[in-house]
Structure 1
Amino acid sequence: MTEPIRVAAVDLGATSGRVMACRVGARTLHLEELHRFPNGAVPVHGGLFWDVLGIHREVLAGVREVARTGHLDGIGIDSWAIDYGLLGAGGRLLGNPRSHRDRRTDGVPEQVRRTVSDAELYGITGLQQLQFNTIYQLVSEGSFDGVERLLLLPDLLTYWLTGEVGAERTNASTTGLYDVRARDWSLDLTKRLGLPGAVLPALREPGSVVGPVLAEVAEYVGVAGVPVIAVGSHDTASAVVAVPAEEESFAYISSGTWSLVGLELESPVLTEAARVANFTNEGGVDGTIRFLKNVMGLWVLSESVRTWADKRLRDVTLPGLLAGATEAPALRTVIDIDDPRLLTPGDMPARVQQLAQEAGEPIPRTPVAITRCIVDSLVLAYRRNIRTAAELAGRDVDVVHLVGGGSQNALLCQLTADALGVPVLAGPAEAAALGNGLVQARALGADLPDLGAMRALIRRTHDVRRFEPRPGLDWDAAESRVAARRDGVDR
């Protein structure tokens, strides 16, 4: 019997990172978390930076633990998108990468708009306009003296493992510099905006073998010759691989720090209506398009919990808050969960209360009431964006697959089913790591010829919870309350 392929799936989030041992066989798909570490942007003199050398150290420690506990066939890294490091002569990192939550891009979209209109930019990139997109970060750099190469974060970490330079395609498609139809960098855009197109590296397909680990890495982890695989390095691209769908008419929600809400398509939707609705067309594994909207996500809740912990409030835990919120009045207070004031770290409960007050909503006074407000508002965003995506793409949605950490939140899952009026299938929670491992396994010879085969293996090996829609709540009325604040606001 052939031994299952065993790989290190490095899954990096903006608040924590994990290194998982993933075993993949004909009827086997198993994850074991062997290393976890905290992550987060570090404030320095008014800026927010990633401790990328610290992240690299933790990646090495995790890979070493995978190698110590069994055979190691491959390594793959997925992470959040958009952020990057700049390399100078000899591959030297020129400074800690900035976090996308840094305020340096305030006003930059308006600056870019004077050279390239929103409509023209969308027609090339198909990308949702978010002020922290890579294109706006690069414009805010000002000078590129001494810069020889730009590497997105998972590509930077891959470079430090292998010495090989490149840009994995699914992550490149999130930058605002990628032509979604030509499937290549738009050097015309870089020229018009005065950006150095020569620093953009060659593109890689997800599933390509980048190369073996460097000798210094092999010495540290204790295994030589292990290949590093370019997976769907945008964590959502990996997560969508692990959506256990067998229906064609499905929508997905990859629910974590951000919520990525949308459809899987064969070609981009570049209509004016899609641009006005601010939907994004990002590359997926096997040439698919992830037609989706970035929703603020569980960041608002996790940052609220952090704030309460900093204030030393007693008995404030996430499970306790969610249990209390389940019994709290439904849809009593709803806000626009995508308000940009919720983007940056800080006193999130106070911001939620401020938004409620501005909207004329009842102000939530307790942690439980604030938690219920956040969950209800997040579900309204899910409802609005799935319905809009289906309309823009001309698709029906018969079921919603909710994967990622949010799939463990029963209140969130049940309310999503209620709001949309279709079943929600929740799980797997570790979708990004599973998709990472599956793409690696295929590159290493596993019989997983397409996404259908990968998803069939997920269904055989992982249980999902099914939430049927319940009647009773007036979601239309709640949505109209949020819409009254959103009218005329371009997201």
Structure 2
Amino acid sequence: MKGVWAFDIGASNGRLMLSRFDGERLFLEEEYRFVNEPISLMNHLYWDVLNIVREIKAAMLIGLKRNHMELASVGIDTWGVDFGLISKTGELLANPYCYRDPQNDQAMEQVLTRIPEKELFQLTGVASSPINTLFQLYALSNSNPALIEQSESLLLTPNLLTYFLTGEKQNEYTISSTTQLLSVTDQDWSKGLLQEIGCSHEILAPVVKPCTTSGYTLPSINGELQMSRLKVVNVGGHDTASALAALPIEKEGSAFMSCGTWILIGVPVKKPVTSDEARKNGFTNEGTIDGGYRLQKNLMGMWFLQQCRTIWKRQGVEFNYAEEKKLMMEADPFRSFIDPDHHRFFNPEHMIAEIKRYCQETNQPIPHTPAEILRCILESLVLKYRFVMDQLERVIHKRISTVHMGGGVIQNELFCQFVANATNREVIVGPVEASSIGNAIAQWIALGEIGNLQEARSIVKRSFDVKHYQPAVEEGWQTAYESFKTLIEVSEDD
């Protein structure tokens, strides 16, 4: 069998997975894993993109030594919205900023004074958020216009990494759809919008379709790694687009949850939904690998737990997943809640202190112990997902009966059961490495080994295990949800 390499790089870690396909079933195994975290320096937050490239090369070297099969291609998916700038001589001009960088905070408000939010949503189909590339680019053009002037090409993160492998400057469709710079009607850059923010459309590398060949590894890469020239494929560059491709969704009334640092909840749609109700409820239309759309909402996910674990580690306290589960089960349920998507939790100096302040200000019991804090976070997260699914049903005018969950977080069984309990819906969990599998699927389609996305999902279903969770019949969850809704309504007015 031939194999393909799938690099799935998220906002906290990255991995190289080897996918094999025997014509009937897909196989996946991990080759390499590495940490990827933003770096705070001089009041800015950066991605260490050169270290990511070093890790990509290290992963490829290990993969070459470990396997003795012919490799057909490689593809890269990452988180959305962030980008790097390439000079006229082909060099990286600066380390890319992280979407949580403080300079983005005011940019959205400034742009929306020039372009009404409703008009912007009708044009792009994307919900306005300070993290979006549109606002990042506007902020950068104001804070460092010289950097923009020196730039020839803006490449979104997966395509920036692909450029380092191939020398080709392209922006894949699904990752481009996260920027709020793409026209929702023709799936190309909106020249008028770019002019409105004072930026030439020529700086953005052209949009290309997924499941196509980007290029081949450069001679310098081949020589350094002592490998044969390898095809590089434009996979679903946004990790959520890749994850959705791997979820074995078969019936109407199914929603998806892509679970990681962020949780993305939505439904596949053939045409973008740009109604006022969708806009007011914060839904966004982003691309799928078959050229369609996913109507979804971006929500806080494991960011909370990552931040709390970091704080506890500094205090000399560490818990493994089993210990965290035991602590949460020992804590009193439904004691206090937070709105996970309140702006105060986006990038606080001290997450635990911010959670305590929120509970104090909303006249709730203050969580003090790790068990109470963990329970507060987990219950608040899953109740917010119920809240969003109820909103989504109203937007699409259909009942959502089933939720498909993918991503590494689904290995947390308590979290999955809580999602089923809180949403009062059947939850189908798996496959775990959904983004990597979807990445590989795009490559197998590009190689002509799999015909289309529908065929791929059938293959996934017979290749990987899934687990079903039914909602527990507990009155406490419905009562908790009613209390939570009241809290959210107050929070959204804040």
* TM-score normalised by the chain length of structure 2: 0.95
Superposed counterparts of 1:36-55, under 5 Å? 36-55=33-52
**Aligned equivalent of 2:97:** 98
Q: Distance in 1 between matches of 2:421 and 2:198?
A: 49
Deviation of 1:343 after TM superposition, in Å, equals: 1.5
Deviation of 1:192 after TM superposition, in Å, equals: 1.2
> What SS does the aligned partner of 2:7 have?
strand
**Aligned equivalent of 2:16:** 19
Contact 1:169 1:205 in 2 (8 A): yes
Contact 1:82 1:133 in 2 (8 A): yes
Superposed counterparts of 1:330-479, under 5 Å? 330-344=333-347, 346-446=349-449, 448-479=450-481
Residues 224, 297 of structure 1: alpha-carbon distance in 2 compared, 3 angstrom cutoff: same
**Aligned equivalent of 1:113:** 112
Deviation of 1:483 after TM superposition, in Å, equals: 3.6
**Aligned equivalent of 1:252:** 256
> What SS does the aligned partner of 1:291 have?
strand
Aligned equivalent of 2:60, options 41, 63, 68: 63
Spell out, residue by residue over 1:212-245, the C-alpha distance to the aligned partner (whole angstroms, 9 max, x if none): 1100111123222210000001000000001122
Confirm whether residue 288 of structure 1 aligns to residue 287 of structure 2. no
Confirm whether residue 190 of structure 1 aligns to residue 194 of structure 2. yes
**Aligned equivalent of 2:281:** 277
Q: Distance in 1 between matches of 2:175 and 2:302?
A: 22
**Aligned equivalent of 1:202:** 206
Q: Letter of the aligned partner of 2:78 in structure 1?
A: S
> What SS does the aligned partner of 2:290 have?
helix
Q: Distance in 1 between matches of 2:272 and 2:380?
A: 28
Residues 138, 299 of structure 1: alpha-carbon distance in 2 compared, 3 angstrom cutoff: same
**Aligned equivalent of 1:238:** 242
Confirm whether residue 175 of structure 1 aligns to residue 172 of structure 2. no
Q: Distance in 2 between matches of 1:245 and 1:222?
A: 41
Q: Distance in 1 between matches of 2:402 and 2:184?
A: 27
Q: Distance in 2 between matches of 1:154 and 1:445?
A: 23
Aligned residues: 486
Contact 2:25 2:460 in 1 (8 A): no
Aligned equivalent of 1:154, options 158, 174, 178: 158
Contact 1:262 1:385 in 2 (8 A): no
> What SS does the aligned partner of 2:164 have?
helix
Deviation of 1:405 after TM superposition, in Å, equals: 1.6
Q: Distance in 1 between matches of 2:359 and 2:26?
A: 45
Contact 2:335 2:376 in 1 (8 A): yes
Spell out, residue by residue over 1:362-386, the C-alpha distance to the aligned partner (whole angstroms, 9 max, x if none): 1111111111111101101111112
> What SS does the aligned partner of 2:151 have?
coil
**Aligned equivalent of 2:267:** 263
User: Greater shift after overlay, 200-209 or 406-415?
Assistant: 406-415
Identity of matched residues, %? 37
User: Greater shift after overlay, 280-289 or 413-422?
Assistant: 413-422
Spell out, residue by residue over 1:320-378, the C-alpha distance to the aligned partner (whole angstroms, 9 max, x if none): 11222134322221110111222226422221111111222211111111111111011
Residues 17, 337 of structure 1: alpha-carbon distance in 2 compared, 3 angstrom cutoff: same
Deviation of 1:16 after TM superposition, in Å, equals: 0.8
Contact 2:422 2:481 in 1 (8 A): no
Deviation of 1:289 after TM superposition, in Å, equals: 0.8
Spell out, residue by residue over 1:446-486, the C-alpha distance to the aligned partner (whole angstroms, 9 max, x if none): 1x222221111111011111111112134444334334344
Spell out, residue by residue over 1:408-435, the C-alpha distance to the aligned partner (whole angstroms, 9 max, x if none): 1111111111122221011111100010
Deviation of 1:28 after TM superposition, in Å, equals: 2.5
Contact 2:173 2:208 in 1 (8 A): yes
Q: Distance in 2 between matches of 1:149 and 1:490?
A: 40
Q: Letter of the aligned partner of 1:436 in structure 2?
A: N
**Aligned equivalent of 2:75:** 76
Spell out, residue by residue over 1:103-125, the C-alpha distance to the aligned partner (whole angstroms, 9 max, x if none): 11112111001110000000011
Q: Distance in 2 between matches of 1:469 and 1:33?
A: 32
Contact 1:238 1:434 in 2 (8 A): yes
**Aligned equivalent of 1:221:** 225
Q: Letter of the aligned partner of 1:387 in structure 2?
A: D
Contact 1:400 1:422 in 2 (8 A): yes
Deviation of 1:277 after TM superposition, in Å, equals: 0.3
Q: Distance in 2 between matches of 1:419 and 1:382?
A: 8
Contact 1:166 1:202 in 2 (8 A): yes
Confirm whether residue 303 of structure 1 aligns to residue 303 of structure 2. no
User: Greater shift after overlay, 452-461 or 321-330?
Assistant: 321-330
Spell out, residue by residue over 1:177-198, the C-alpha distance to the aligned partner (whole angstroms, 9 max, x if none): 0111221111110111112211
User: Greater shift after overlay, 268-277 or 405-414?
Assistant: 405-414
Q: Letter of the aligned partner of 1:128 in structure 2?
A: A
Deviation of 1:445 after TM superposition, in Å, equals: 2.1
Q: Distance in 2 between matches of 1:83 and 1:382?
A: 25
Q: Distance in 1 between matches of 2:294 and 2:132?
A: 17
Structure 1: state its 5+ residue gaps.
none
Superposition CA RMSD, Å: 1.5
Q: Letter of the aligned partner of 1:218 in structure 2?
A: N
* TM-score normalised by the chain length of structure 1: 0.96
Contact 2:387 2:485 in 1 (8 A): no
Contact 1:303 1:345 in 2 (8 A): no
Spell out, residue by residue over 1:1-22, the C-alpha distance to the aligned partner (whole angstroms, 9 max, x if none): xx2x301100101111111111
> What SS does the aligned partner of 1:470 have?
coil
Q: Letter of the aligned partner of 1:460 in structure 2?
A: R
Contact 2:367 2:376 in 1 (8 A): yes
Residues 381, 362 of structure 1: alpha-carbon distance in 2 compared, 3 angstrom cutoff: same
